[in-house]
A and B are shown apart, each in its own frame.
Chain A
């Protein structure tokens, strides 16, 4: 299923990533099954899917860590893996566990990468500063915590001033300020023309900062479009408590609301998207008829629920 186009239509030239019929099998298990995927140039594109959907395999194939059995890939207009050495200097990537020499300092680990890539030392300093890593640059990599290690890996990717940034699961941290900082950096990069492809198993992780998204499951594309459009496809579950649930059901059904279940005093309603105006409309419709809501909860569906729903509608 494919809906919408790039969130950056003005900047759209050829897509940053085009994947067609990509297939990767590990013995009898098919990790990626004829996947078609397009990542627009510029903006942030989220690759979503539950655990085991094939996201990491797709990203590993894109950067040449894994070779597919079938399919074609174009990265920044170059065929890969054939022209991978030509295109990789323009691509920054963090795929899998951040791995650096544990007894070597952060700075020296980055120096070694920079020497290999022919990157100026100035770029290392800028990237360290951008990710607030200057203070730990002389510490051995093994002494760092998980979140700092992820930032070091991101720093290595950003040193290249990439045109395409590929991130396998954005850095997770308990510190919301740090999450916000990294999202700001990625948003800023995207605004300046970098195409960011980020994978996640949670749609809520990318809601609000990714522009477009693809959902994959069992190695196949389920849906692709703007995040807003995909969110719209998700039916949120609104549970309300009222004195006369049967009457409330009649009123809401007349106004095209879909009722999922009802007890004497409780009604569960399906609301497409996460539009607060819809919940406000429910309150207003019932109040007009003299029914006042004494309790209301909204539940977002999981990514798995969304995939199941979209797969069913696609099959239908």
Chain B
């Protein structure tokens, strides 16, 4: 087993496609995370001046025209109370500045989604490529242990995802805290602990995604099919959830929202129910369980397929 792990680790280092996927994901996370971290920055003088200018323009507009707007509304059958147009307030036009909690939540959610997708694709390509090229058959000709081979590749992908996750989320956590300190944004102790938990969960989500992607390729034996399977799930899941095709079951099967709740905290899933827009609360804990169950099921299916099906 140790030899198989060493061989797969060496192989992973030699596969440029995996590193290109990681690099693209890191770049995208860097760009998007920079934006959400910057939202904590205090507004600049220029932004303040622009906000003041916008407020004055809106106030002048209101003073000039609010009576006409209210009259038009009353003429259409509204009551004076219903048609009252309140004056704009300076607070409504203040430049947006997010607090530490919001910034870390959004940053981790974006990073977890991007890294999760990248790790799934990397896992699928690492294993699928071996099947498509025939390297899997060559390997099995020399190393007859099919289960050892499968477990070794899954472990190596999991370790890669863990490493990349620690790098990304550790880096983001440090960046968020340094930025908060630099801009004087308060970081309550419990909020830091919450962010740390989110970072750990996001890292684990990356590991689950990588292992699931690799397992999907062991099952389908085609990279494109494994990636297509995930894409089909995302599309189908949206349809099922949005149109409430499976009332009661849909939220449990919606792994995307479940993952979102696990990393970012309690989430509300919106759906249409007989013409009415409803919301269901998704708690964080089941999300982690759902992803762990999915990963275990995929690994079990991959091991079973490897055991039962002969290589091409």
Q: Which residues of B contact A64 (CB under 8 A)?
A: 140, 144
In the complex, the answer to whether B142 meets A101 with C-beta atoms within 8 Å is no
Q: Which residues of A contact B134 (CB under 8 A)?
A: 96-100
Q: Which residues of A contact B135 (CB under 8 A)?
A: 99-101, 109
Chain A's closest residue to B131 (CB) is A99
Query: Considering the chains assembled together, what is the distance between the CA atoms of A103 and B141 in angstroms?
Result: 21
Q: Which residues of B contact A98 (CB under 8 A)?
A: 134, 138
A151 within 8 A of B: no
A63 within 8 A of B: yes
Residues 106-138 of B, flagged 1 when their CB comes within 8 A of A and 0 if not, give 000000000000000000000001100111111
B250 within 8 A of A: no
Chain A's closest residue to B152 (CB) is A116
Q: Which residues of B contact A117 (CB under 8 A)?
A: 3, 142-143
A67 within 8 A of B: yes
Name A88's contact: one of B11, B16, B143 (CB within 8 Å). B143
Residues 147-178 of A, flagged 1 when their CB comes within 8 A of B and 0 if not, give 00000010011001000000000000000000
In the complex, the answer to whether A103 meets B15 with C-beta atoms within 8 Å is yes
Name B14's contact: one of A104, A118, A156, A157 (CB within 8 Å). A104
Residues 100-120 of A, flagged 1 when their CB comes within 8 A of B and 0 if not, give 111111001101110111100
Task: Using known A-B contacts A65-B310, A96-B134, determine if residue A104 contacts B144 with beta carbons closer than 8 Å.
Answer: no
Task: Using known A-B contacts A112-B14, A116-B3, determine if residue A99 contacts B138 with beta carbons closer than 8 Å.
Answer: yes
Task: Using known A-B contacts A99-B133, A115-B10, determine if residue A156 contacts B138 with beta carbons closer than 8 Å.
Answer: yes
Q: Which residues of B contact A115 (CB under 8 A)?
A: 3, 6-7, 10
Report the minimal beta-carbon distance from A97 to chain B, rounded to whole angstroms.
5
In the complex, the answer to whether B144 meets A81 with C-beta atoms within 8 Å is yes
In the complex, the answer to whether A113 meets B145 with C-beta atoms within 8 Å is no
Q: Which residues of A contact B144 (CB under 8 A)?
A: 63-64, 81, 84-85, 88
Q: Which residues of B contact A67 (CB under 8 A)?
A: 310
Name B7's contact: one of A88, A95, A102, A116 (CB within 8 Å). A116
B171 within 8 A of A: no
Q: Which B1-23 residues have C-beta < 8 A from chain A?
A: 3-4, 6-8, 10-11, 14-17
In the complex, the answer to whether B142 meets A160 with C-beta atoms within 8 Å is yes
B139 within 8 A of A: yes
> Among the interface residues B3, B139, B141, which one has the most CB atoms of the partner chain A within 10 A?
B141
A210 within 8 A of B: no
Q: Which residues of B contact A153 (CB under 8 A)?
A: 138
Q: Which residues of A contact B15 (CB under 8 A)?
A: 101, 103-104
Report the minimal beta-carbon distance from B160 to chain A, rounded to whole angstroms.
16
A66 within 8 A of B: yes
Chain B's closest residue to A105 (CB) is B14
B186 within 8 A of A: no
